[in-house]
Amino acid sequence: MAQHTPDTSANPLLDFSGLPRFGDIRPEHVTPALDTLLANAQAAVDRALDPQTPATWADVVDATERATEPLSRAWSIVGHLNAVADTPELRATYGENLPRVTEFWSSVGQNLALFEKYKAIAASPAFGALSSERKKILDNALRDFRLSGAELPDDKKPRFMALQERQAALAKAFSDHVLDATNAYAYIVKTEAELAGLPADVVEAAHQAAQRAGIEGWKFTLHFPSYFPVMQYATHRPMREAMYRAYVTRASELGTRYGDGKAEWDNTALVAELLKLRREEAQMLGYENFAEVSLVPKMADSPAQVIAFLEDLAHRARPYAEQDWQELREFAANELGLAKLEPWDVAFAGERLREKRYAFSENEVKQYFPEPAVLGGLFKVAEALFRVRIRRDEAPVWHPDVRFFRVEDQDGSLVAQFYLDLYAREGKRGGAWMDDARGRHRRAEGEMQTPVAYLTCNFSAPVGGKPACFTHDEVITLFHEFGHGLHHMLTRVDELGVSGINGVEWDAVELPSQFMENFCWEWDVLSDMSSHVDTHAKLPRALFDKMIAAKNFQSGLGTMRQIVFSMFDMRLHIDFDTEGAQSANDLAREINERYHVIEQASFSRWPNTFSHIFAGGYAAGYYSYKWAEVLSADAYAAFEDAAQTTQGSVLDARTGERYRREILEVGGSRPAMESFKAFRGRAPTIDALLRHNGMAGTPAQSPRQQQ
């Protein structure tokens, strides 16, 4: 098959000479670009399969990677735009091409002849001379060939490929339904009385949203920056109830409906089909359930080990959760007149209790964290710890709000670059994430390709001529995503397959992100990155002390909530019967009743928007967040120890240098446990996590109860 020479002038998706040309990319470019890139990638695979092609690293692995990397990069651009700049035209072309891309990668993974070439390389005398990074890539590839069905009989492979294509289509539909259901709902406020309790910037944003929609009053939506302040602060209880009901029934049979009464964007059937297909995939590969398949490339050894970890954490956290819940109910009844605490009252009562107990509100804290100060503080932490410099840079972007930065070494040489897209808007998927725009690797001609990352959040945009202000939780989210970005950007591995986050076990990939969250609780860091939006005053030490006192406020409830999500995910993929009478939502209620102390609303359909496991790669892996918390808390304890030893700051450059060298720079070139032990000198323990969450003793002894 002949190589297609890309016409980069006519099609920006075929131009890999630099950064993506976001200003030029249009939906009509997608299909022609993929025609060329898929043809080139297939030609490279065919050459590798030719009996005349030697089974060597250069002729098979490297040659195939060089031809398929442009395909991955172009499709990554399209997928990114689909997530942050959704239009009907882009969604349509993405949906049309998704099966083509999925089919190609499935065919590569199932190709027994290519698998045999890789095995021949691994068994050859030359294998011993390969670098450790290349050996790891080969090991990973052999594992992935098996998981992709390469060893299946030929008559089984078409069905296995069909499973992959259908699952990809269902995941896309699931994500589209969540976005559409979120966009479709609006709560319109006509009288100022209904706005009581809401922060001024939230009210102003709602007023601007109403103006853009051409309606009078204030428009509130289910996008988190609009929705959650209503749950926290609105004293108008019917408004909280209406928005809560809309939020937890999105993309379900109880959600927005057509004129004929049928539910619109209902994900119920999609969930059932996805689970059925995943089980079939697992059984075709010789596994009992999909959880076993999911754990093959992860740190955890078995589903039973994950369940035991979650059960142990639930046992430790439950007494704290019970105490949290008892305190909240008593406060709501005695202080707020809420004899029965309904689900739409929990966040509101929690915020009121926090204000009473610790004499501050999240909105008060928010005023001290305008965006310029927060970004400056975040970059200063990274620069102090990892001896880099972060500077503004220029590049084409997909929206005027997006900014671009470069990361440099101390000598000014380029290390990496990243896009920063902070604000929520219609057409943008909810949540926060880091994604790989391109990875680091050394090209065949010797030139180094530096990594580029997308950092995406959904915070409130600036209103009223002032900069955007972030809640402390949003500051933590920003640090979290930047931690992912550092993992991707600071790698020193030259082999694409294991550079940055590539090849890192999924249940360890959250370590660098959750590690960075810890700095958001340090006085030196917060003080330095604070500047009141009106007065420019620094965060008062008295207010910080209150924040620290409240740090583990309701941490028991928060932990149980995460355990419910994680246990639900594992049970779905271990023993859930898609043909049985119990639905996924029934299982969610059962899990909640067993582990949580707060009763779930009868109408709640939260699994229908659980994008992490149905559209985001976390299937039978959501426990990773709690497991990575163990790793990250223990890693951060090394910085705490260094500060205590030197009587200095946790921004200890020597410890930071070691962390960068042993965790960030090595990427996926060695097992994550080896990297952790190389940094910490031992295996991880749960002690630091329990201490950080105020759950080191019994509830009565916990520091968080001594206020």
Give, as one character, the DSSP assignment of residue 288.
S
Closest by Cα among 12, 10, 20 to 418? 20
**How many angstroms separate the CA atoms of 326 and 472, rounded?**
26
First-to-last alpha carbon distance for the chain, in angstroms, is 73
CA–CA distances in Å: residue 562 to residues 286, 314, 410, 519, 557: 31, 10, 40, 22, 9
Residues 6 or more apart in contact with residue 37 via CB below 8 angstroms: 6, 14, 70, 71, 74
Give, as one character, the DSSP assignment of residue 413.
-
Closest by Cα among 671, 692, 694, 693 to 683? 671
**How many angstroms separate the CA atoms of 59 and 56, rounded?**
5
Tokens 């932490």 correspond to 381
Closest by Cα among 134, 128, 133, 18 to 665? 133
Asked if 381 contacts 525 with a C-beta cutoff of 8 angstroms, the reply is yes
Q: Which amino acid type is present at position 434?
A: M
CA–CA distances in Å: residue 133 to residues 61, 387, 442, 498, 682: 13, 25, 13, 7, 23
Q: Which residues of 261-294 are buried (b: 16+ CB within 10 A; e: fewer)?
A: eebebbbbebbeebbebbbebbebbebebbbbbb
Secondary structure (DSSP) of 380-424: HHHHHHH-EEEEE-----SSTT-EEEEEEETTS-EEEEEEEEEE-
At residue 257, the 3 state secondary structure works out as strand
At residue 448, the 3 state secondary structure works out as strand
Pick the catalytic residue from 194, 281, 351, 481.
481
Q: How many CB atoms lie within 10 A of CB 30?
A: 25
Three-class secondary structure assignment of 567-617:
HHHHHHHHCCCCCCCCCHHHHHHHHHHHHCCCCCCCCCCHHHHCHHHHHCC
Asked if 631 contacts 291 with a C-beta cutoff of 8 angstroms, the reply is no
Give, as one character, the DSSP assignment of residue 437.
E
Q: What angle do CA 463, 469, 475 make, to 5 degrees?
A: 145
Helix H or strand E encompassing 631: helix 624-646
At residue 558, the 3 state secondary structure works out as helix
Helix, strand, coil percent content, the chain, rounded in steps of 5 = 60, 5, 35
Closest by Cα among 396, 487, 416, 438 to 72? 438
Residue 481 annotated in active site: yes
Phi/psi at 188 (nearest 5 deg)?
Answer: -100, 125
Residues 6 or more apart in contact with residue 223 via CB below 8 angstroms: 182, 424, 430, 458
Asked if 256 contacts 265 with a C-beta cutoff of 8 angstroms, the reply is yes
In this structure, the strands spanning 452-459 and 414-423 are parallel
Q: What token pair was written down for 72?
A: 């991955």
Residues classed as catalytic: 481
